[in-house]
Structure 1
């Protein structure tokens, strides 16, 4: 019942977002508040702490969170809005749509009924797995569980655009099958990885005990799952390798791919996955599937059945009775350090946003989204695009030939703002206020069917990759589009009452970030029509890669937690987008009346307010365990690196704060990185 994988490109943030004060419907008295700053720190020594030091000290991570920063404050407020909408919906029975999400909310909030059920919602699934007689039965169960919203096991499967022919949908297979957040947790021998792996073994043991297994059996089954998942992890590519769109594009005729996996007939498997008529597919890691094929015969069937049981338990544990939910959270604590479970209402409302996002989104937009925000956003996007076009034309490292192609791509951008033009219709999903797990399964079945029925149909570019309440934004390379959900189009991302320095340092930088994603190390490999194909001259491509490598080296030098460094290769796309977006937003800001007049507000010049706002965007406290996990899994750099990294490469920042040689963040002009 987890959200199906997508091929959308990265959004602007995972680890933090834009906020300058607690959000809400009341406007703040100050957008830049010295009370949040640490004026004892020189801006040229640590700009992030200069801008945020007092706020960071005064805002530790709450017990039910893993991090607390600008984005998290806003997300908290947004979730309260969803709670209000869902509470109202649960009281209305005359409106079918309202009742649908209201009943789903009530079913998730009825913990008394959920606790009485124990693990009965998955008992039939476990019994069905017990009856499997051979490898074919095992594969049939994997397909069935996926189509029915029960669980996903062994590999990833989705239907999405063909990266080299974006006018068509194609089935795609991806490496998968593991439970821990990254392959390294299974393979590394450092203390953190070993501690987590040992805790995971205990977690498996306790979960199997909760479904009635005796101590010896539970221990044996835990060992079997860990052995299988470790073997799968060894076959997986790293997250850095997975960023290569060519390395992960391996197109096969279905019959030819079946020849590489004798134990799996992919024609039959695709049929069981309810996909009819496909003659080809794309595989992101073919060698992984060869390993899977070998394991299917090398590993005893009894162990595979145990593994499938675990996938069912794990996929459903958070939605089952209290002992399961608590043990599920106990493992989360080990991974993230989180002290308390999220409030139930917040947990359930998040699930509904995930499962019935367009329906909840309609309510959200009608109550909280201001139409004038969309108009203003359209103006800002146009300003940023015009600015970027000028920057491309002035690049001293790119030939005129490649500039033409770059401008062609920029001019072909599709812009989505606020919410979809066409809403998804969930009317066929049966929602029973007394059947939480069943509701989630039926919603997942609907989403799965919605996905597989796209095959053979014209590509629908009206679809969104995020729900309207989402506080984020994204760029899709295959659609060459940027999207800004309604959730982000409010204070503190941008505010009609704020000066331009705030809005350009906030939403302006977000817009610039998403535009630059079309030209980061990954997005730059896609052409104006969205297809994966090279539009660069060899010389220009080499120059771009050289400059991108400078960004890798800069971020590799950031230390996050004791000896842990930022992974410059994993975060490269986001770091290029930050650098390009901030440059673009600042130049667009210099065209405004505020910048030209140069008047101070609260003691700061327009340029200073712009950069201070940028730094406030990324303020965030995170638990050590969470920081360690994010370094492995998150393509975004931590907040301090995002605040400090780009500004050291921008001449205007040095001028605004009189940064001099000898300051810790000072970089000589000739060494400042300039890409876009």
Structure 2
């Protein structure tokens, strides 16, 4: 593994050195008495990593820090017509998307492509060939459509629902993953599924907006049925809505689904059949190729029980209509524009306020990423992720780990026994940076340029078979859950790993030429955030080996819960839209991650200064630049409909509250910007939440 090394200088100190030298002149003389050349390294954003032109200096930082850092950008930026929200993540995603497009189109344009290049190019070009899609009409899905329309029994319906190639909606969703309490083996999980609206509350909420969404959904269902040639589409659409409403009645709400203690219900297949006899479980599992499994983990046990009853009590005709809508909706992107546009009309416009469908090429890039992502990712890393970036990130991760270690030692509310377990867990964190050590080859996944839907269905079947192949096999700790070109990061509690794909390691999160404070406030806080997930209200339920178990003393668990409750209460008081407050419990894990990330990144930044004062740059202190970088990362604008959906479905708080909601709990922010009781964001010291 290549590392970016400089003899005698720590990498993180180098960030500050680079920034301070950006506008300096080197007066060192050589033996020939001539001025040595100076390498001037300029940050991508502004002079030192902050786009100061985006700030609104008329706002007091203590009154609205998010507006202070991002106000001019918020006032002058229009959300693109094909977006429901837009911000720093999207700007990076746009960059990654353009890079991937170039990779795909280069592969597609080669006269003598390799096998992988041919697969990439054929899939992309098939997706872009809208003339062929229009000419084919519904013919590519006609055999499945006829199979649905001729269903006579619930067994016929179950067979359709459990065909992995079709990807049809179903009241339950099996998948294969690592057993959370026995993480040396894989097991089949079963989770609630099958709703066309975002969650259960969408079926029961009151008010004009909720009525508009439900009416829009029924209209969408009717449109799909009519496109399929079903008579009395409007009347039958309401019956489908009634079926989904019956499913939703016993669905677990998002807050309950977060609780890992409640969602681990291990049972035998016999117990499952006894608990939920309305579903032909053995038939479904046989169809999926997992008929010989002896145990499963049922996540939402009462919801699965009720869903099986709804399945047993609903007429075959209604469920056939339900599957007809699922077939057309799930294949809409590969079908004529009338169907694709109808789906966008509801899910894009009505539900999220998006004005225009995304350009076809962008959607094509997403299709290739979702199907052959690591084939593309291998090229992406070679062209856009220098080894130096990986070395710098590894250094940052270890500095954050060191700060977290001291943070645990210094906790006044935690006892030594729990601290020892927490330190063990922290020491066992496995960081994955940039890209996997071995690449998925998608062996056996074939692409037919002349059969787009056939290719899509083959890819779905391949993905399911890939999951099933894990049963009975050793755990592969080298696998990644995201492609390198994904702008995101994650923590996996079962493997106790933190993962940072290459595409997020770019400005404003990370810039090797930016000031150290900015990198710590950006990517440093993101690293700390993912580490924090290992110790949030749910992540803390796994130990250092990734096994879900209670390693806390009762007193320490009580102390944690009290602090977590304080943060949840703070966020529940935020009201992004009139009458629509955040749910502090739904977003608790993410908000603990944010608070932990900023706290640890700030400590790591101060350590990197080795007791020296950070330079003043453009009038801003190092501490100010750190917190400004945090707020800059979360610059985002929302369409009202999309914001409403985010509030309801979470779990991430809107950017304004990720920025403001965290810094108001950090003492150093108050000192950095002279925030006092007269400022709107002020919280008395005794009310500030400190967890890690």
Interval of TM-score (by shorter of Structure 1 and Structure 2): over 0.9
Once residues 563 and 167 of structure 2 are traced to their aligned partners in structure 1, the CA distance between those partners, rounded to angstroms, is 46
Aligned 8 A contact 1:35 1:54 in 2: yes
Aligned 8 A contact 2:92 2:503 in 1: no
* Pair 1:128 & 2:147 matched: yes
* Pair 1:525 & 2:533 matched: no
Aligned twin of 2:666: 650
- Taking structure 1 as reference, are residues 561 and 27 closer, same or farther at Cα in structure 2, changes over 3 Å only? closer
TM alignment of 1:39-50, pairs within 5 A: 39-50=57-68
Aligned twin of 2:125: 106
Aligned twin of 2:21: none
TM-superposed deviation, 1:318:
2.4
| Alignment length (residue pairs) | 649
TM-superposed deviation, 1:327:
0.6
TM alignment of 1:582-661, pairs within 5 A: 582-593=598-609, 596-661=612-677
Local SS of the residue matching 2:183:
strand
Aligned 8 A contact 2:92 2:506 in 1: no
Give a deviation string over 1:66-115, Cα, whole Å, max 9, x none. Answer: 11111111111111111111110111243111111111110111111111
Aligned twin of 1:208: 225
Give a deviation string over 1:124-148, Cα, whole Å, max 9, x none. Answer: 111011222211222122112xx21
TM-superposed deviation, 1:220:
2.2
Once residues 239 and 568 of structure 2 are traced to their aligned partners in structure 1, the CA distance between those partners, rounded to angstroms, is 39
1:179 to 183, 196, 218: 196
Local SS of the residue matching 1:165:
coil
Aligned twin of 2:322: 307
Question: Structure 1: where are the runs of 5+ without partners?
Answer: 1-23
TM-score, structure 1 length as denominator? Answer: 0.94
366-375 or 590-599: bigger deviation = 590-599
TM alignment of 1:132-143, pairs within 5 A: 132-143=151-162
TM-superposed deviation, 1:571:
0.2
TM-superposed deviation, 1:595:
7.8
TM-score, structure 2 length as denominator? Answer: 0.92
Aligned 8 A contact 1:318 1:325 in 2: yes
Local SS of the residue matching 2:612:
helix
TM-superposed deviation, 1:213:
2.8
Aligned 8 A contact 1:412 1:529 in 2: yes
Once residues 227 and 571 of structure 1 are traced to their aligned partners in structure 2, the CA distance between those partners, rounded to angstroms, is 30
Aligned 8 A contact 1:317 1:325 in 2: yes
- Taking structure 1 as reference, are residues 609 and 100 closer, same or farther at Cα in structure 2, changes over 3 Å only? same
Once residues 275 and 295 of structure 2 are traced to their aligned partners in structure 1, the CA distance between those partners, rounded to angstroms, is 14
TM alignment of 1:420-439, pairs within 5 A: 420-439=436-455
TM alignment of 1:10-21, pairs within 5 A: none
TM-superposed deviation, 1:228:
0.7
* Pair 1:291 & 2:310 matched: no
Aligned twin of 2:266: 251
TM alignment of 1:202-241, pairs within 5 A: 202-214=219-231, 217-241=232-256
421-430 or 325-334: bigger deviation = 421-430
Aligned twin of 2:281: 266
Once residues 595 and 236 of structure 1 are traced to their aligned partners in structure 2, the CA distance between those partners, rounded to angstroms, is 54
Once residues 319 and 592 of structure 2 are traced to their aligned partners in structure 1, the CA distance between those partners, rounded to angstroms, is 43
Local SS of the residue matching 2:178:
strand
Once residues 525 and 298 of structure 1 are traced to their aligned partners in structure 2, the CA distance between those partners, rounded to angstroms, is 38
Once residues 332 and 289 of structure 2 are traced to their aligned partners in structure 1, the CA distance between those partners, rounded to angstroms, is 26
- Taking structure 1 as reference, are residues 499 and 26 closer, same or farther at Cα in structure 2, changes over 3 Å only? closer
Aligned twin of 2:491: 475
TM-superposed deviation, 1:419:
0.9
Aligned 8 A contact 2:101 2:365 in 1: yes
The structure with more radius of gyration: 2
- Taking structure 1 as reference, are residues 598 and 289 closer, same or farther at Cα in structure 2, changes over 3 Å only? closer
Once residues 343 and 355 of structure 1 are traced to their aligned partners in structure 2, the CA distance between those partners, rounded to angstroms, is 19
Give a deviation string over 1:431-464, Cα, whole Å, max 9, x none. Answer: 1222222221111111111001111111111111
Aligned twin of 2:472: 456
Aligned twin of 2:351: 335
Give a deviation string over 1:537-572, Cα, whole Å, max 9, x none. Answer: 000000100000000000011111111111100000
Aligned 8 A contact 1:184 1:193 in 2: no
Once residues 263 and 669 of structure 2 are traced to their aligned partners in structure 1, the CA distance between those partners, rounded to angstroms, is 39
Local SS of the residue matching 2:374:
helix
TM-superposed deviation, 1:230:
0.6
* Pair 1:316 & 2:331 matched: yes
TM-superposed deviation, 1:265:
3.8
User: Over aligned residue pairs, what C-alpha RMSD do you find?
Assistant: 1.5
* Pair 1:509 & 2:509 matched: no
1:486 to 502, 524, 528: 502
Aligned 8 A contact 1:75 1:471 in 2: yes
